[in-house]
Structure 1
Amino acid sequence: MSGLFGTLNIGKSGIFANQRAIDVTGHNIANTKTPGYSRQRAEMQTRRPFCTPSMNNAAEPGQLGTGVEISQIARIRDSFLDYQIRVEMGTQGRYQGRDKFLREIEGVFNEPSETGLSTLFGKFFDAWHQFSKQPETSNTRTMVAEQSKALASELNHTYSQLNKIKGNAQDIIKQKVFDVNNIINQVNQLNQEIIQISVAGNNPNDLMDRRDYLLDQLSSNFGITIDKKDFNAIELNTKEDKEAGSPKGANLVQVIDPDNVARFAYIQDIQAQKDDKGNPTGKYDIVYYKNGDTTTESNRVVIKDVELTDEQKKEMDECRVLWTDKSGNLLKKDGGAVNADKDGISGIKFSDIALFKPSSGEFKGYMSVQQDVDGYIDRTNNLAKGLALAVNTLHGQTTDSSKDDLPFFVNKDGQENGIDASNIVVNKEIMDNPMKIKGSKLDVPPSGESDGKRALAIAGLRDVLMGIQNINSNMSREDFINKFCGGLKENEYGIKVLNGTTDGMKVDNYFKDMVDTLGIQEQEARRMVKNQSDLLNTFTQSRASVSGVSLDEEMTNLVQFQHAYVANSKIISTVDELLDVIVNGLKR
């Protein structure tokens, strides 16, 4: 088409195109502060031209333009920057989780301070040393009893607080499981909507922004792998993370059969089974909740009679997350789903269970810090048990080598066996009557005792090298003394004392090493959080320079499109005047 009507259509196309460009600019300005929004751009192209030349008509060579049109509303996004940011968010999430709880562990140990364990250990040994100087007075005995009680109470409190920290980490994991499943469900729903709109030939820019924003959130929790498909679709999985324990062929989001996907469940409890005599059988009932939703008992599933070693039980306790299908049925490592009946699930081995153990993200941080907490609990138990066994060895000695009398430290049941930081107490007999504390070489101190040699030997335990680090929960006093303390020897006063071992540690040094290790771990976590924050800021700024909305740029574009709109309106106005001349002027 040529002539004035063709020019009229060109002006009309210019008006419509610039109006659309103004709409896009307004949309950008309105979403300046919208999280995850990517700048959009109306891309213009010439419309199909009108071909005039032919064999019979060469008077108007070439093609006549027919105006402009919007080819697409483009979304300005750099996928490589998205990838970099998500990788670094996973690393940052891991160390943020660790930093949060390592700080809490530091608060529990509270070192150095006047009320921490190191100070109480010092006061404990000082009380025994003072007792050795004044064994005839009751005040020094009372001081020994009270300082020992304070030390035992602080060990109890430390154990309790460490377990609370571990419980808090597990509570966060439980909430994270629920939140992550919801995010994945939203991504899946958005994925289906994006496919439908893209198949129709449109660009679902805002939906894709929302999906990318959710993927950013997801990447801070664990490492994700995104496979791009046709029609702007994606598939989401963890296949690049070999530690995540992903069941064979499991996708979190997929295009084909979008309901046949994996999700996560939270292990609420690991219940040990016992025989008729109350002894552990080595089998456990594992209770998990579908999708991490603990608000209703209908989501509760029990995996029965699972045989676990101590290490496997510990691994499951620290992880707490299982792979399931979308309905919450347990996924085995080979990819098969196990449906639960009304009594739960039976016949499952630990090797069949797919635990979710990502190598990055907040999940990794909360899981790894539980390993640290378990380590500090074990070390605190070793400290309590080692101290108790060493003190009891010296305090309970009698002139009859076949007898052992009045252990100083016991557990809350009054027994020496099974002492750890959770239950160590001073023997009730001693607390009721501090005069029963033995400070002399003799078995039972007579009234007005003047011999403080035994008390001096107990005070000397401060400097004895003991293999505290090698203690286990079932170790007897005899094994500890003979294997890890170098056995017994008589000192110059005729009291059997620990010989010491070159590969052992002093009590003070053992605790100091614990605190130093904790400090190094916290410094590393804090340093990594700062480094990752700086790195993420760099990547985020780079992405903002590409995808972010600049108000100055948008205002410039707005003025540009406004002038173009006005100019095209002037073309239409001019054509209108020319048509008026032709139509109405010819009559005159």
Structure 2
Amino acid sequence: MRSTFGGIEIAKRSLFTQQAALTTTGHNIANANTKGYSRQVVNMVASRPIEYPGLMRSNVPGQMGQGVEFDHIKRVRERFLDDQFHNENKNLGDWSIRKDTLEKLEAIINEPSDTGIRQTIEGFWNAWQELSKTPENTTARVLVKERALAMTDAFNHMSRQLKDLSGDLTQNIEVKASEANQILTQVSRLNDEIYRIEGLGNDANDLRDQRDLLMDNLSKIMNVSYTEEDRGYNVRLGNLQLVSGNQVSTTFTRESLEAAAVSGDLNSGEVNGMIQSRDYYVSNYQFQLDSMLKVLVEGEVKVTLPKDMVVPEGTTLNIVNPDGTTTPKIYTGLIADRTLGDNVDVIVNGFNGLHQLGYGGNSPLRSGTAFFALKPGYTEFNAESVTINSVILNDVANISSSARTYLDAGQETVVKGNNDMALLLANMRTKRINFDPSATGRPVLTDGTFDEFYRSIVGELGVQSQEATRQAANQQILVDQVESRRQAVSGVSLDEEMANMIKYQHAYSAAARSLTTFDEMLDKVINGMGVVGR
């Protein structure tokens, strides 16, 4: 028959098991709001039974149960959902950075608005229109100078802002490299701790939660993948081994991350978003502005010089032939020899080239100089290097507005009331220009006016920003959906835990009552039997 003392052991095991379940339930409740925490469950199993005693075998069929015990505390986690979360999280990180960068670009370009660069461009062209109405008016010349300065300053400022944004992104890449290195170091250390703890037969559930939370954070930074082996997580970035067991195989720098992006190992995540934002978005808009300024200042433009225009002495005009080719022609000699007998189509080198064909309001006669100039230290025109020629800044009379001269007491003198050059320069805004003479395909608009080119820049930015906003919003929805499913599996439900607590509490009370019953039985056997004859 079964030993009476065996019942005490069964009750004791039940008490210990229910107590462990209550403790685990309390642990779940305490961590209900802990980020990355996975619900834990005590895995209860029936204790190994024993057979009825016998000489060779059991005389009674069946085995005697020995109660309950728990073999481990299980962490409720689903790897499939973790992989889904990481796949969506890396895309969220990428598009969030792109969205943020494009929003900053929109703030820099600030269009459409009353304070954007388009207003300064509009003011520049309008000033030339005003000068064409009263070419001899000094006030109109001052207005041209001031509006031109406002435009070049606006482009200079925008270019500096773009460079600052590019520098900020570069600095943020370095910050993310450091953050990734810290995470990889922590993962390797947790790999080692988990290996040692579980090697002793214990559960390292909370450490596993910490490691998985680190992987969640890392997945937003870059497109890592990982496998779990005996020594812990093996983490990779494309073909790059990052962590193997307790060893960190790769330490990131900004340069190594940029190289990984070029090789294709890094193709999503916040770092990829930063690299693409800097090297594509910011660089592209810097290029567009530089292209616009360069073409404005010195790009080839076809203009029609009016009849009776006097070409400055020694000037070579590239005259456009009917077949589209050009023929250079040098104009020298007397005024009559340099006066155009009819309208002539020519190719000039941008605003500067056309401005140099005119005459200012100065005396003695001085043919036009370049209107735009390079800042000291620069070798080519772009949005950052352009400024106004110091000759014009010092004397607005050097602004070309006239295209005719005459002899006055044997001295060639400008016709100050003539507005031919001012009109030609004002009409530059409507000229169709090839913004991609080298056929690179990079300019946002190949052929068009300056206004159309700038509108195309603004339009492209608007489309890209809208797309990034949409993609980021979609990715956030996907991440939230996967996280919701993860929480449904791994999250702590206070209602469920409270129900479990009551269930385990009653089981504990029943086990305690069972122990009391066995105690009473033993008391009866020990103290209540065999008293006859005492």
- TM-score tier by shorter-chain length is 0.7 to 0.9
Q: Does 1:421 align with 2:388?
A: no
* 1:254 aligned residue: 244
Query: What is the distance in 2 between the residues matched to 1:471 and 1:426?
Result: 27
Deviation at 1:60, TM superposition (A): 3.1
- The question of whether the paired residues in 2 share the 8 Å contact of 1:18 and 1:562 is answered with yes
- The question of whether the paired residues in 1 share the 8 Å contact of 2:184 and 2:248 is answered with no
* 2:63 aligned residue: 63
- The question of whether the paired residues in 1 share the 8 Å contact of 2:368 and 2:400 is answered with no
TM-score, length basis structure 1: 0.75
Q: Does 1:263 align with 2:251?
A: yes
* 2:420 aligned residue: 453
- The question of whether the paired residues in 2 share the 8 Å contact of 1:441 and 1:453 is answered with yes
Deviation at 1:398, TM superposition (A): 6.0
Q: Does 1:555 align with 2:463?
A: no
- Residue identity in the other structure for 1:561: Y
Residue from 340, 347, 365 that aligns with 2:273: 365
Percent identical: 33
Query: What is the distance in 2 between the residues matched to 1:434 and 1:471?
Result: 35
Deviation at 1:52, TM superposition (A): 1.5
- The question of whether the paired residues in 2 share the 8 Å contact of 1:131 and 1:141 is answered with yes
* Coordinate RMSD, CA, aligned: 2.6
- The question of whether the paired residues in 2 share the 8 Å contact of 1:357 and 1:364 is answered with no
Deviation at 1:259, TM superposition (A): 3.3
* 1:235 aligned residue: 234
* 2:136 aligned residue: 136
Aligned pairs (5 A) from 1:183-262: 183-230=183-230, 233-239=232-238, 246=239, 250-255=240-245, 258-259=246-247, 261-262=249-250
Compare 57-66 and 8-17 and name the one that shifted more.
57-66
* 1:334 aligned residue: none
Aligned pairs (5 A) from 1:218-367: 218-230=218-230, 233-239=232-238, 246=239, 250-255=240-245, 258-259=246-247, 261-267=249-255, 321=258, 358-367=266-275
Query: What is the distance in 1 between the residues matched to 2:97 and 2:234?
Result: 27
- The question of whether the paired residues in 2 share the 8 Å contact of 1:265 and 1:322 is answered with no
Query: What is the distance in 2 between the residues matched to 1:448 and 1:405?
Result: 13
Query: What is the distance in 2 between the residues matched to 1:120 and 1:189?
Result: 58
Deviation at 1:414, TM superposition (A): 9.6
Query: What is the distance in 2 between the residues matched to 1:363 and 1:73?
Result: 38
Query: What is the distance in 2 between the residues matched to 1:202 and 1:108?
Result: 57
* 1:441 aligned residue: 403
Q: Does 1:107 align with 2:107?
A: yes
Query: What is the distance in 1 between the residues matched to 2:171 and 2:61?
Result: 78
**What is the CA deviation profile of residues 185-242 of structure 1, one whole-angstrom value per residue up to 9, with x for unaligned ones?**
00010011111222222221111100000000000011011112136x2200023xxx
**SS of the residue 1:125 aligns to:** helix
TM-score, length basis structure 2: 0.82
Q: Does 1:376 align with 2:319?
A: no
**SS of the residue 2:145 aligns to:** helix
- Residue identity in the other structure for 2:395: N
**SS of the residue 1:113 aligns to:** coil
- Residue identity in the other structure for 1:383: M
Residue from 462, 466, 485 that aligns with 1:519: 462
Deviation at 1:174, TM superposition (A): 1.0
Query: What is the distance in 1 between the residues matched to 2:200 and 2:58?
Result: 41
Q: Does 1:172 align with 2:139?
A: no
Query: What is the distance in 2 between the residues matched to 1:437 and 1:398?
Result: 9
Query: What is the distance in 2 between the residues matched to 1:392 and 1:354?
Result: 40
**SS of the residue 2:253 aligns to:** strand
- Residue identity in the other structure for 1:360: S
Query: What is the distance in 1 between the residues matched to 2:438 and 2:18?
Result: 79
Query: What is the distance in 2 between the residues matched to 1:99 and 1:565?
Result: 56
* 1:314 aligned residue: none
- The question of whether the paired residues in 2 share the 8 Å contact of 1:410 and 1:427 is answered with yes
* 2:311 aligned residue: none
**What is the CA deviation profile of residues 62-87 of structure 1, one whole-angstrom value per residue up to 9, with x for unaligned ones?**
10101111021000001000000011
* 1:289 aligned residue: none
Deviation at 1:3, TM superposition (A): 2.2
* 2:34 aligned residue: 34
**SS of the residue 2:251 aligns to:** strand
**SS of the residue 1:251 aligns to:** strand
**SS of the residue 1:440 aligns to:** coil
Query: What is the distance in 1 between the residues matched to 2:102 and 2:526?
Result: 87
**SS of the residue 1:397 aligns to:** coil
- Residue identity in the other structure for 1:418: E
Compare 464-473 and 175-184 and name the one that shifted more.
464-473
- Residue identity in the other structure for 1:65: G
- Residue identity in the other structure for 2:290: N
Query: What is the distance in 2 between the residues matched to 1:38 and 1:436?
Result: 77
CA radius of gyration, larger in:
2
- The question of whether the paired residues in 2 share the 8 Å contact of 1:77 and 1:547 is answered with yes
**What is the CA deviation profile of residues 417-450 of structure 1, one whole-angstrom value per residue up to 9, with x for unaligned ones?**
5111111111111111111111111379957711
Q: Does 1:412 align with 2:375?
A: yes
- The question of whether the paired residues in 2 share the 8 Å contact of 1:166 and 1:370 is answered with yes
* 2:474 aligned residue: 531
- The question of whether the paired residues in 1 share the 8 Å contact of 2:435 and 2:446 is answered with no
- Residue identity in the other structure for 2:354: L
Note closer, same or farther for the CA distance 1:579–1:223 as it changes in structure 2 (3 Å cut): same
Deviation at 1:124, TM superposition (A): 1.0
Query: What is the distance in 2 between the residues matched to 1:39 and 1:404?
Result: 85
- Residue identity in the other structure for 2:433: M
Residue from 516, 531, 534 that aligns with 1:573: 516
- Residue identity in the other structure for 2:464: Q
Unaligned runs of 5+ in 2: 299-349, 360-365, 407-411
- Residue identity in the other structure for 1:107: A
**SS of the residue 1:358 aligns to:** coil
Unaligned runs of 5+ in 1: 240-245, 268-318, 324-352, 474-483, 485-501
**SS of the residue 2:48 aligns to:** coil
Q: Does 1:432 align with 2:340?
A: no
**SS of the residue 1:252 aligns to:** strand
- The question of whether the paired residues in 2 share the 8 Å contact of 1:53 and 1:60 is answered with no
**What is the CA deviation profile of residues 527-586 of structure 1, one whole-angstrom value per residue up to 9, with x for unaligned ones?**
111111111111111000100001110011011111101101111101111111111112
Deviation at 1:355, TM superposition (A): 6.7
Query: What is the distance in 1 between the residues matched to 2:136 and 2:58?
Result: 131
* 1:282 aligned residue: none
What count of residue pairs does the alignment treat as equivalent? 465
